[in-house]
A and B are shown apart, each in its own frame.
Chain A
């Protein structure tokens, strides 16, 4: 392929959640990396920034809010971040936006919703690849 893939970092301490998000995003033609907490995510970002972040809130060492605050204070190309959490409380949502999230989704997230938001935030009208063709599960 001639074009370089858009890179997405999925940050969640639950392995199954990372796998789920990875499956959805890779099927749509994105390159996905993973991190198990906010600190590890910052390490990944230090290696090379991403085009989009999918961030859980509750994680050990550094939670999603802390990750976004650190990310946003960095002098690097910034990219949209989707916060994904089990917490439905209005206060958590507010905190997510204040920390630098572009969008807040409540878990569990449906594949088509996640994908639609990712495309919008990346300014794409269609997915790089049709997720329904040759979907690898």
Chain B
């Protein structure tokens, strides 16, 4: 026994990719009983932007985290409006893992997510608003500071405001100072808001 030169190609009989690699074949494979086959289908579907609906449908029922992860990566790579709509749907899921994974995916799609931001930040569910602020973190968009200022000025929910202040510490400019001061007034009894707003003010002052 020793070091051996290999044929690089794995000789494998259990080829999970045996189904046709066209759109219909791949969509079928997406429901295969074998997670490995599902992952390969989800990966290969990147070539078919029209597959977003099927990918999202599978995402909602998928129980295997590894398949979920690959589906989300493909949706991110496709990254069109349909894909983003699907990701937004995931924010309302009961499944924390799916929600957090969708937020991560959305962070990688700033341009596609930006048009929906206004609506998400006005959502009736505070959790969805918090998730929306989380997504803002990576959005290199001229509107980001304005959105955040609107949140800390108008949003009644303390944790939505708290999440927005965290971010203002990074992206805030002089423009944010009055709103941050007003926020401190609005939540005088909340040490966390005082702490986070002071930190943001300090960072803005330091330039």
Q: Answer yes or no: A and B touching, Cβ < 8 Å.
A: yes
B100:A86 contact, CB within 8 angstroms: no
Chain B 156-167 per-residue mask, 1 if CB under 8 angstroms from chain A, else 0: 001100110110
Contact at B193–A86, with CB atoms within 8 Å? Answer: no
Give chain A interface residues in 94-131, CB to chain B under 8 Å: 107-111
Known interface pairs A108-B191, A108-B192. Does A60 touch B100 (Cβ–Cβ under 8 Å)?
yes
Q: Is the interface of A mostly helix, strand, loop or mixed?
A: loop
- Asked if A19 CB lies within 8 Å of chain B CBs, one says yes
Q: Is the interface of B mostly helix, strand, loop or mixed?
A: helix
Would you give the shortest CB distance from B172 to chain A, in whole angstroms? 12
What count of chain B residues pass the 8 Å CB interface test?
A: 26
Q: Which residues of B sit under 8 angstroms from A73, Cβ to Cβ? A: none
Bitwise interface map of B from 170 to 207 toward A, beta carbon under 8 Å scored 1, else 0:
00000000000000000000111101100100000000
Known contacts being A59-B100, A60-B100, is A108 close to B127, with CB within 8 Å? no
Number of interface residues of A (CB under 8 A): 22
Q: Which residues of B contact A (CB under 8 A)?
A: 96-97, 99-101, 103-104, 126-127, 130-131, 134, 158-159, 162-163, 165-166, 169, 190-193, 195-196, 199
Chain A interface (Cβ < 8 Å from any Cβ of B)? 14-17, 19-20, 23, 57-61, 63, 65-66, 86-87, 107-111
26 CB < 8 A contacts A-B: A14-B166, A16-B165, A16-B169, A16-B195, A16-B196, A20-B192, A20-B195, A20-B196, A23-B195, A58-B96, A58-B99, A58-B103, A58-B130, A60-B100, A61-B100, A61-B104, A63-B97, A86-B130, A86-B159, A86-B162, A107-B159, A107-B192, A108-B162, A108-B191, A110-B191, A110-B192
